[in-house]
Amino acid sequence: MADQASNILSLDVGTVRIGVAIARLDIKLAGPLTAITNSPEVITDITKLAAEHNANTLVVGLPRGLDGQSTSQTRYVHDFVDKLKTTGLKIVFQDEALTSLKAEDELKSRDGGRRRYNKGDIDALAATYILEDYLSSHEE
């Protein structure tokens, strides 16, 4: 559970589910945590996860079109983050280009195409890739 090191959570926000990944700041190692349902209680659920895992920062994947343009999903994520601001947690955006596709390809290759994973697994792994990208671009 919570330890002395501070952690970061990453969110791959979708309209149905939100993939969540976690990384400890001291070792900068990201891994999938869970996928949660995007329900009316989701802000409370995220707040609880952050407290449970001693996280003070949320890295939120920002979707964009192939040419870098805003899309309806970009606007959805911005609106979602406006609600997240009530948590008091630090919130930063990270480009999420092709992370879900990469996650699905990775999971397919791991199980030999038998599809023993679900969409929540894809979302949590995509959140991991978002967090890895954030950590690698913020190395000190």
Query: pLDDT tens digits, the chain, 140 residues: what are they?
Result: 444 458 999 999 999 999 999 998 888 888 999 999 999 999 999 999 999 999 999 999 998 877 777 888 889 999 999 999 999 999 999 988 766 565 566 656 666 666 666 676 777 878 888 898 899 887 64
Assess if residue 34 is contained within a domain. Answer: yes
* Range(s) of the domain holding residue 73: 7-137
What's the pLDDT score for residue 21? 94
CATH assignment of the domain containing 48 = 3.30.420.140
Domain count, the chain: 1
Query: Considering the domain boundaries, does residue 1 fall inside one?
Result: no
Report residue 72 as tokens.
Answer: 């309806």
Token digits of residue 107 = 């999971």
Nearest by Cα to 10 from 122, 92, 72, 70: 92
Q: How many CB atoms lie within 10 A of CB 50?
A: 21
Domain-embedded: residue 59? yes
Residue 50 has a pLDDT of 96
| 2 within domain boundaries | no
Single out the residue of 123, 132, 88 nearest to residue 104, CA to CA.
123
Using CA atoms, how far apart are residues 4 and 42, in angstroms rounded to an integer? 26
